[in-house]
Amino acid sequence: MFASQIEETPVLLKYDSPENVNKNAAIITSWLSKATKEATIEQDVKDKIYWWKEELAILQCQIRILAKQISRCKDAEAKKALNAKKKDMMKAYKLAIADCKNKAFRDFINSEKPWG
């Protein structure tokens, strides 16, 4: 791969004037850019959390709203009911995360080229 790049190395000028130095710098830069571009494999970049879904964001937002309601609540009975509701929502949220991760993993192992 790099053998062809080395064979295509451009001829540089003598370093006897500032103009030649600048021309050589431009030649070397363009040659290196071309070699790098040819040797680089372009791939689609996945998000860091590629398994994240909009439904998880909605659940997360609802849990946050509920937590704020709990912190503002003065009535002990109402607070207890809100805490129970939050606990159920957290359980559903964690299950939804696990489902999304499992689905993403299944998609990954069933893909034709999992590493690009």
Contact 59, 85 (CB under 8 A): no
Q: What is the mean pLDDT of the chain?
A: 86
- What type of residue sits at position 64? R
Single-letter residue type at 105: F
Is 35 in contact with 5 (CB distance < 8 Å)? yes
H helices of the chain, where?
2-7, 18-39, 54-72, 76-110
Per-residue pLDDT at 47 exceeds 70: no
Summarize the confidence of residues 92-103 as an average pLDDT. Answer: 96
Helix (H/G/I), strand (E/B), else coil: 52? coil
pLDDT in tens, 58-84: 999 999 999 999 999 999 999 999 999
Percent of the chain at pLDDT above 90?
45
Q: Name the residue with higher pLDDT: 87 or 6.
A: 87
| CA-to-CA separations, 78 to 75, 81, 84, 104, in angstroms, rounded | 5, 5, 10, 39
Predicted confidence (pLDDT) per residue in 3-24, tens digit: 666 667 777 878 888 998 898 8
> Using alpha carbons only, what angle is made at residue 68 by residues 66 and 72, rounded to the nearest 5 degrees?
115
Report which of residues 4 and 107 the model is more confident about: 107
38 band by pLDDT with thresholds 50, 70 and 90: confident
